[in-house]
Structure 1
């Protein structure tokens, strides 16, 4: 009798809310054992319990992707699994919307450390396991901000451009190995925290981002695209997918019904 194939393992960073949490739910429903990470222990443990209660498989690990020692320890702990098949580098975010002349260097540094160095840390730590699986996928969640700038966005644009270049370069460097590199670049997505965090808890400023936009993208929209991309046949690589709502023609051109 042929043994049943092992459940594939997918690691999702930044899974405590928004796109990360939605991706964990959808990958679990697609048959993956999701290993969900984030800094907020209560959030990821509740999500793991929810996924498990739905009849799927999930494991929660508290992780700050900017802490390299913690990332290495996390990767070493995954040796309990027979293989790691998918890494979704979702941890990231934006801080501030100030012009270059007055932008806070501390915000720029934090965005670079999370969006770029955090992605680098986890990718480096898990690449050996993804390669050893014989069929690995590294997915980098960047942003349309990484493909076109806009006023007040330079710090975030710079960080997401770094994430884009990391994905593009990695794909060149590991071609010929059994690991593909996918980049998903969302445009305007309304989640419960992204804009509020960007504006340091100012809900009024956060609401203005989406004012008059009939249907911004949702976390579930992006999770659906991520799940589709990673479940393509092994020889199919979705190099880059830019996704915007119909109302958004570019990073600076948005139709608003006011």
Structure 2
């Protein structure tokens, strides 16, 4: 089955694969021919997804760890190289959310969301570039439309997503001469566990947010994964340093 598809013959590390966008990206990438190493904190969720993919005839393995811990992130890449011999692509999708006005966010919550979203992305980039330095590759980071606009009540989260865009653009400049493309996707409202949690606490706010989308709907996790798929594939071979909105026209 790995002989066909947009990622045929490519080894891809998917960080943040246990649920939502990451889990559907794993299913999509596998269907498009990728050999996958799945990484996230939840070993049980990863094991279940790996079993699902292998039962369908795909090649996948997993490694558990915390994206904010340097040794864990190094183990993601090392496990990929040990198991599959190389790394061709990476999708850095792990993330943490935060709600509350900037003056109401606790220092603990601020540090947590920064550690996962900013430090975690940087650690992933550092280790993935190490593995791709000799042969090139493609990396996609998950930012958000909150990475280039403001919104009341999500200040610390949005600051991290601005930082992800900065890391992405800088990494594209730093590593372009090595044949490594680095891009980001910027989802708008998407039907993920994060949106479900937000809808439970502020249903009117979520409804207003979706009503503002020109397509009048939240995106699906598969629609977001499709954008990451294209950026990882050779069809985007001249695309680097781009932040691709997947937001139904909300930022148009």
TM-score, length basis structure 1 = 0.85
Matched residue, 2:49: 47
2:206 to 210, 216, 226: 210
SS of 1:36's partner is strand
Task: Write the deviation string for residues 168-192 of structure 1: whole angstroms up to 9, x where unpaired.
Answer: 111111221110011111111111x
Post-superposition Cα deviations, 1:77-109, rounded to whole Å, max 9, x if no partner, equal 33322210011010013122x112222222111
Post-superposition CA distance 1:146-180 (Å, at most 9, x none): 11111112111111111110001111112211100
Using the alignment, how far apart are the partners of 1:44 and 1:34 within structure 2? 12
CA shift, 1:22, in A, is 0.8
Report what 1:3 is aligned to.
none
On the 8 A contact 2:189/2:195 being kept in 1, the answer is no
* Structure ranking higher in helix proportion: 2
Contact 2:13 2:77 in 1 (8 A): no
Tell me, in whole angstroms, the C-alpha distance in 1 between the residues paired with 2:204 and 2:39: 30
What residue in structure 2 maps to residue 195 of structure 1? 195
Aligned to 2:235: 233
Which of structures 1 and 2 has the bigger CA Rg? 1
Equivalent residue for 1:168?
169
Question: 1-side partners of 2:203 and 2:221: how far apart?
Answer: 17
Shift of 1:196: 4.9
- Structure 1 spans left out of the alignment, 5+ residues: 1-5, 251-258
CA 1:29 to 1:188, structure 2 compared with 1: closer, same or farther past 3 Å? same
CA drift at 1:123: 1.5
Does the alignment pair 1:94 with 2:97? yes
Task: Give the gaps of 5 or more residues in structure 2.
Answer: 1-7, 211-215
Aligned partner of 2:75 in structure 1 is 73
SS in 2 for 1:116: helix
2:102 aligns to what SS in structure 1? Answer: coil
**Structure 2 CA distance for partners of 1:102 and 1:141, relative to 1, 3 Å:** same
- Change in CA separation of 1:13 and 1:207 when aligned onto 2, cut-off 3 Å: farther
Q: Under a length normalisation based on structure 2, what TM-score does the superposition of the two structures give? A: 0.87
- Deviations for 1:171-217, whole angstroms, at most 9, x for unmatched residues? 111221110011111111111x21355x5xxx621544533645200
C-alpha deviation, 1:72, in angstroms: 1.9
Aligned CA RMSD, in angstroms, stands at 2.0
Question: Matched residue pairs, number?
Answer: 237
In structure 2, what is the Cα distance between the partners aligned to 1:143 and 1:74?
24
